[in-house]
Amino acid sequence: MVRPFATILLTLLTLPFLRAQEAAAPKPDAKEQLEAAQKLLKQVSPGVFDLNGIQITAATREVRIPCNILHQKLPIEYALCNDTGEKLHETILQTAVRPIQIQLALLLANYQPATLGILDKLDPKEERPYRAKDTEPKTPGANRLAIHVEWKDGDKVKRVPLSDFIQDIDKRKTPDDLDTWIFNGSQIDETGFVAEQTGSIISTYVDLSAMINSPAKGNHRDDLWISMPSNIPAEETQVTLIITPAK
* Domain presence at residue 130: no
15-30 pLDDT, tens digit per residue, is 444 444 444 444 446 7
On whether residue 128 sits in a domain, the answer given is no
In a domain, 127, yes or no: no
pTM listed for this prediction: 0.87
107: domain range?
5-122+136-245
In sequence order, the 6+-apart residues with CB closer than 8 A to the CB of 35 are: 13
Q: How many domains does the chain have?
A: 1
Question: For residue 129, is it within any domain?
Answer: no
User: Quick one: CA dihedral 89, 91, 92, 98, positive or negative?
Assistant: negative
**237, part of any domain:** yes
Q: Is residue 69 a part of any domain in this protein? A: yes
Tell me: the pLDDT tens digits for 218-238? 999 999 999 999 999 999 999
The Cα 220–Cα 239 span in angstroms is: 28
Q: Which of 119, 176, 117 is nearest to 143 (CA)?
A: 117
Cα angle 85, 88, 89 (rounded to 5 degrees) comes to 145
Low-confidence residues of the chain: pLDDT under 70: 1-29
